């Protein structure tokens, strides 16, 4: 049986190859072993959904806390985003179904229903991409 400390886990999934490689480069600089999967798949199929969760960053289970600290350092993307409607900084990032009609998703994406990343203002409820 595999040692629990050597168990490989998916730490995060990123929308773009660039975001994933920035995280990997930072971990490499600190000597933390990691690798990415599905880099090319996300270039061919840009929508995230259940079948294509994005570019995945894999790490050892034992490095989880250190990786969390390292990747949470610095300014996050949401820190600079404001609602275009009310200018509130109380914004979260969510997902919305790209197609309202399931038949359209079936015809276009062969049983996958893509989700589009969007921002949601907690203050006024405005949604935008």
Instruction: Provide DSSP, 90-125.
Output: -EEEEEEES-SSHHHHHHHHSS---EEEEEEETTT-
Write the pLDDT tens digit of every residue in 21-79.
999 999 999 999 999 998 887 777 666 656 678 889 999 999 999 999 998 875 454 44
Q: Are strands 115-121 and 34-37 parallel, antiparallel or unpaired?
A: unpaired
The hierarchical CATH code for the domain 78-128 is 2.20.25
- Residue 8 backbone phi and psi in degrees, to 5: -90, 130
E strand segments, 31-82 = 34-37, 55-60
At 81, the pLDDT band (50, 70, 90 cuts) reads confident
At 61, list the tokens: 């289970």
What's the CATH number of domain 4-74, 2.60.40, 3.30.70, 3.40.720, 3.30.750?
3.30.70
Domain ranges of the chain: 4-74, 78-128
pTM (2 d.p.): 0.56
CA angle 72, 20, 17 (to 5 degrees): 150
In the predicted structure, residue 18 carries a pLDDT above the cut 80: yes
Domains 4-74 and 78-128 belong to one CATH topology: no
In the predicted structure, residue 83 carries a pLDDT above the cut 80: yes
Res 34: pLDDT:
97
How far is it, in rounded angstroms, from Cα 47 to Cα 97? 10
């Amino acid at each position: 049986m595999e040692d629990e400390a050597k168990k490989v886990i998916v730490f995060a999934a990123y929308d773009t190859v660039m975001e994933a490689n920035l995280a990997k480069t930072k971990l490499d600089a600190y000597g933390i072993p990691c690798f990415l999967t599905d880099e090319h798949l996300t270039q061919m199929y840009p929508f995230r959904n259940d079948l294509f969760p994005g570019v995945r960053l894999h790490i050892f289970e034992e490095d989880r806390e250190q990786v969390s600290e390292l990747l949470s350092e610095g300014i996050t993307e949401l820190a600079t985003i404001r609602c275009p409607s009310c200018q509130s900084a109380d914004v979260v990032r969510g997902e919305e179904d790209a197609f309202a009609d399931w038949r359209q998703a079936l015809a276009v994406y062969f049983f996958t229903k893509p989700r589009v990343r969007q921002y949601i203002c907690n203050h006024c409820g405005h949604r935008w991409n």
